[in-house]
Amino acid sequence: MTDPFQNVDAAGPEFIHVFANAMEVRQSEPAMETIVARYLDKLAFSEGSLTVEVGSGAGAIARRIADRAAPGAVIGFEPSKGFVEEARIRAEGVENLSFEVADGAALPLPDDAADAVVMHTVLSHVDKPDTLIGEACRVLRSGGRLVICDADFSKSTLSSFANDPLDICAREFTSHFVTDAYLVGKLRQLIADAGLILEDFTHETRVSSTREGMRPWVDRVTSLMVERGDIGQPLADAFVAEFERRADNGTLYGYQVFATAIALKP
């Protein structure tokens, strides 16, 4: 199965609705708010500035950027029509924020138009991250900045002990909902190859101990395993029951590393 984030509209309206909400829940976690606030703190927004989010999904990050950048303009470009519709509804009344359907490989902007480009958990979902970085460079003005924030999915885990069977859900997620789990390890080279200057590269952890952010993924990966015929429904139910048991007794331990790179266009 191909990572559904490569073509969200093909995954259908139910996927769009469930995962628009899941991304909202993820972003509202304190650890994620801190990660985003830290990189936004490092961008200087002026009155006439233009900030672009590439792969803006349902707009959870774009709304936070717009809040900081106001009255500067923010445009979220997103290839999924379904996500763009959700994003527009969720951002109603935010005057400096708009969304357009566009692929990150071909942004409808002239050269040197943007002061900053943000890619938040996007490059780990594409086959050719260098193409998106190159396009971001084209639209950035000299002195503008590219922010890439992504999870190092190769290190994500749900394990609380050696050979923890619940970790199969984390590994299934990485296999089927991520295109390149090792993207973060390649970022320095990708940035250098694009001719950008890396100014800042930080790593922060996200520890999830509540059910809200992870339960839709556990449902989805266990259903997939059943659909493929790899496991039967009783084992899928047991994974969900174990997940719920840990969520109830406070022992749920989802661990991810998030990396943020800030790069300058000379």
Sign of CA dihedral 183, 189, 193, 199: positive
The residues, any chain, with a CB within 8 Å of residue 246's CB and separated by 6 or more, are: 160, 166, 252, 253
Q: Which residues pair with 148 in a beta bridge?
A: 119, 261
Q: Which of the stretches 51-59, 85-93, 223-231, 251-259 binds ligand SAM when contact is defined by CB under 6 A? A: 51-59
If one asks whether residue 54 binds ligand SAM (CB under 6 A), the answer comes out as yes
Q: How many residues does the chain have?
A: 266
3-state secondary structure of 158: coil
From the list 119-127, 155-163, 235-243, 251-259, the region that binds ligand SAM by CB under 6 A is 119-127
Among positions 56, 174, 256, 260, the unique one binding ligand SAM when judged by CB under 6 A: 56
Under the binding rule (CB under 6 A), the answer on residue 152 touching ligand SAM is no
Q: Tell whether residue 126 is a contact of ligand SAM (CB under 6 A).
A: yes
Q: Give residues with Cβ within 8 angstroms of 117, minimum separation 6.
A: 51, 52, 53, 54, 136, 139, 140, 144, 145, 146, 147
- State how far the Cα of 69 lies from the Cα of 155, in Å rounded to an integer: 33
Q: Does 64 contact ligand SAM by CB under 6 A?
A: no
From 75-83, 199-207, 211-219, 240-248, span contacting ligand SAM (CB under 6 A):
75-83
Residue closer to ligand SAM, measured from CB, 90 or 141: 90
CB of 241 to ligand SAM, least distance (A): 27
Residue 6 binding ligand SAM, by CB under 6 A? yes
